[in-house]
Structure 1
Amino acid sequence: MGNLPTVLDVAEAAGVSRQTVSNVLNAPSLVRPETREKVEAAILDLGYRPHASARRLRTQKSSTIGIRLDPITTDGISGSILDRFLHALTEQADRKNLRMLLFTATGPDDEIAQFRRLSEGADVDAFVLTSTFHGDPRTEWLIENGQSFVTFGRPWGIDDMADPEHLWVDVDGAAGLRDATRHLLGTGARRIGYLGWPEGSGTGDDRRRGWLQAMRASDGSGLSDEQLAVLEVAAEDGVTFGADAMRRLEQQAGVVDAVVCTSDSLALGALMATGGRIPVIGYDNTPVAASIGFSSVEQPLDEVAAGVLELLTGAHGGRVHPEAAVSDPRHRLVAPRLVVRDGPSVIAGR
């Protein structure tokens, strides 16, 4: 086996100094983009990987990102999204010579206790938060304690687009269900129902807004707000809840041409309740949607993971510095895409 490539090898291949290579690895914001690209190309070509232990001693950093491993959901459907995000994040972090440290927590307070333990022990340099919600105490603690972090999900309940203290990446849920509803309207459906989560869920409220926008548009359903009100039902997430919500929707609305849902779990429940006799579109494009064959909105998790790592390792370094003139946006809002399928040929009703 030949000798492993060194920093000097990378410097010679890129035509730069050894210090420039070191800056690209440890402080990329100091290097001009075109120079950084040359060095990164040389690193890739040579297969160079810095020695993690030596790097920690040199920078006094662990090169490690902490993230909570969410509990398994009861239906095992919607929870797969965070699993896929974690896989994408870990894979892309490895290419940047960063490590992921997984931990568990029973709730927000327990997660904060884990933040404290890991930061005091210098086990991690930054955190990634998922499943954000209104009044999230986790972000408050991280800000107060000067920790670097990025959230997958907006800091709901504040002016999240311009908030000076939060760095976040999210998928545009309103755009996703707006596209789904417009697709159904384009097929001739007019009375399009909506199955969503109870009000107060930032993510759920955002997706509901997309359905409403499409239904209220000049080329939409032509229904009044009063008529639209009977076409929506809120339910907890889960297949059984989705089936019950679909039955309630048909009882209160009468004729329903099609349904859009906040999750694939609710969508599967709706399909079971109707026996697949009307079109149903879910959200998350889980393996269940693909195997059964119903349409769903897909979250581009590779793009989300890339955005998270950009905010952690780029100009911001996981923290907002109001006194610094950093032009890089503090957030990334990623566009989802609608995956259209013919629908299940046969599905048993309940």
Structure 2
Amino acid sequence: MPERTGSNKQPTIREVALRAGVSPMTVSRTLSGGESVRPDVQEKVLRAVRELGYHRNENARSLRPGHRSGLIGVAITNLGNPYYGNFALGVEEVAAQHGRRIIIGSTGEDPLRERQLVSDFIGRQVEGLVLVPSGESVDHLSADRLGGVPLVLASRSLEGLDVDSVLLDDVGGAADGTRVLLDAGHTRIAFLGNARSVFTGERRFEGYVRALAERGLSPRDELVERGQQDVASAEVATRRLLDLEHPPTAIFSANNRNTIGALREMGRRLRAGESVDAMPALAGFDAFELAELMPVPVTIIDHDPQELGRQAARLLLARLDVDRAAGHGKTIEMPVRIVAAN
């Protein structure tokens, strides 16, 4: 873990050189690929970089003293998910109103990639960060590590980190979606969700369990599939569920990737000759394109990802343009709504 000096000032290349016992030129060569630098010396330099929390300044040559970069870093989990594209549009809209531009990166739900992406953003002298967290670690997001750059979390929160965040009513929305299925007479309701470590997945599972408990029911192990991070894995999980001796009559899906995977498996079975009546009812979080054209009814727990992005950007710009140290982090929880099955 990097040393904390009690200041948000970022360490310099000279301080790295002093810690490693080498010249600043050697540090620069190491960080540029290590040409003509012995491996043991490179290791000393990289160790010093880690210990001090040094971030390479990629914009140093292009920024004049006293000038800001005008950049906001946006780190999302999946560039291939249209949901996050709309979220980023919301951030960009508000940023542009304040004379800023955004740069975007994807973590792929990998905490190590998140660390590197955040470090790259800081190295490019971003003025602020909007992050959809991919894990539970917070040490790389401390004020010291970020050099005082304001951070806003979107969609997910992190324990032990006092920063602004924008969340959804995940628990209430999931409970409402599950109640729709229960009200239709279903009792064997499966759950399709992402990894337990994902904040939204855990909260939406909580809502599913809550709605079942209200009717005197509890989750059945064979009907709970968690850990699907993409459409392909959700399709496989749905196949396992529908191949059970007593398959579920309904499925609650925690996000649109899982919903689409479930629909793909149902579509495969329909093409193979199974009847629509044999397919389970489906309710899921997050809208997706062409949902109204699906061969089976889909109840959507809907919200506006662009507004989620706008809210995150407004919180960030308030920190940048008003007061970076204005008290503790603020949390906004946005409502969701049920869109009836087609």
The answer to whether TM tops 0.5 is yes
Correspondence list, 1:232-251, <5 A: 232-251=224-243
Which letter does structure 1 place at the counterpart of 2:262? A
Corresponding position of 1:187:
184
In structure 2, relative to structure 1, the CA distance for the partners of 1:117 and 1:204 (3 Å cut) is same
Corresponding position of 1:311:
315
Corresponding position of 2:137:
135
Gaps of 5+ in 2: 1-62, 271-275
Corresponding position of 1:13:
none
Correspondence list, 1:228-267, <5 A: 228-252=220-244, 254-267=246-259
1:330 Cα deviation from its structure 2 partner: 0.9
Which letter does structure 2 place at the counterpart of 1:145? G
In structure 2, relative to structure 1, the CA distance for the partners of 1:233 and 1:102 (3 Å cut) is closer
Corresponding position of 1:148:
150
Corresponding position of 2:73:
66
Which letter does structure 1 place at the counterpart of 2:336? P
Corresponding position of 2:117:
111
Asked if 2 retains the 8 angstrom alpha-carbon contact of 1:285 and 1:339, the reply is no
TM-score, normalised via structure 2 length = 0.66
Corresponding position of 1:336:
336
In structure 2, relative to structure 1, the CA distance for the partners of 1:113 and 1:299 (3 Å cut) is same
1:111 Cα deviation from its structure 2 partner: 0.9
Distance 1:131 1:211 in 2: 23
1:199 corresponds to which of 196, 218, 228: 196
1:299 corresponds to which of 296, 299, 303: 303
Asked if 2 retains the 8 angstrom alpha-carbon contact of 1:312 and 1:318, the reply is no
Asked if 1 retains the 8 angstrom alpha-carbon contact of 2:241 and 2:247, the reply is no
TM-score, normalised via structure 1 length = 0.65
Correspondence list, 1:23-34, <5 A: none
In structure 2, relative to structure 1, the CA distance for the partners of 1:252 and 1:278 (3 Å cut) is closer
Asked if 1 retains the 8 angstrom alpha-carbon contact of 2:128 and 2:320, the reply is no
In structure 2, relative to structure 1, the CA distance for the partners of 1:83 and 1:230 (3 Å cut) is same
Distance 2:130 2:249 in 1: 41
Name the SS of the counterpart of 1:199 in structure 2.
coil
Distance 2:261 2:106 in 1: 29
Which letter does structure 2 place at the counterpart of 1:268? I
CA deviation string 1:182-222 (max 9, x = no partner) = 111122222211111232222211111111111111xx2x3
Distance 1:104 1:198 in 2: 18
- Is 191-200 or 302-311 further displaced after alignment? 302-311
**Is 2:260 the counterpart of 1:268?**
yes
Asked if 2 retains the 8 angstrom alpha-carbon contact of 1:263 and 1:282, the reply is yes
Distance 1:142 1:281 in 2: 43
Asked if 1 retains the 8 angstrom alpha-carbon contact of 2:74 and 2:103, the reply is yes
CA deviation string 1:245-298 (max 9, x = no partner) = 123224557142211111222223323434452211222211143442632222
Gaps of 5+ in 1: 1-55, 74-78, 343-350
1:243 Cα deviation from its structure 2 partner: 2.7
Which letter does structure 1 place at the counterpart of 2:331? H
Asked if 1 retains the 8 angstrom alpha-carbon contact of 2:163 and 2:329, the reply is no
Corresponding position of 1:347:
none
**Is 2:220 the counterpart of 1:213?**
no
Name the SS of the counterpart of 1:111 in structure 2.
helix
1:335 Cα deviation from its structure 2 partner: 1.5
In structure 2, relative to structure 1, the CA distance for the partners of 1:82 and 1:272 (3 Å cut) is closer
- Is 248-257 or 199-208 further displaced after alignment? 248-257
Identity %: 20
CA deviation string 1:117-136 (max 9, x = no partner) = 112xxxx3211112442114
Which letter does structure 1 place at the counterpart of 2:73? G
Asked if 2 retains the 8 angstrom alpha-carbon contact of 1:196 and 1:204, the reply is yes
Asked if 2 retains the 8 angstrom alpha-carbon contact of 1:289 and 1:295, the reply is no
Name the SS of the counterpart of 1:178 in structure 2.
helix
Asked if 2 retains the 8 angstrom alpha-carbon contact of 1:166 and 1:320, the reply is no
Distance 1:317 1:260 in 2: 42
In structure 2, relative to structure 1, the CA distance for the partners of 1:131 and 1:338 (3 Å cut) is farther
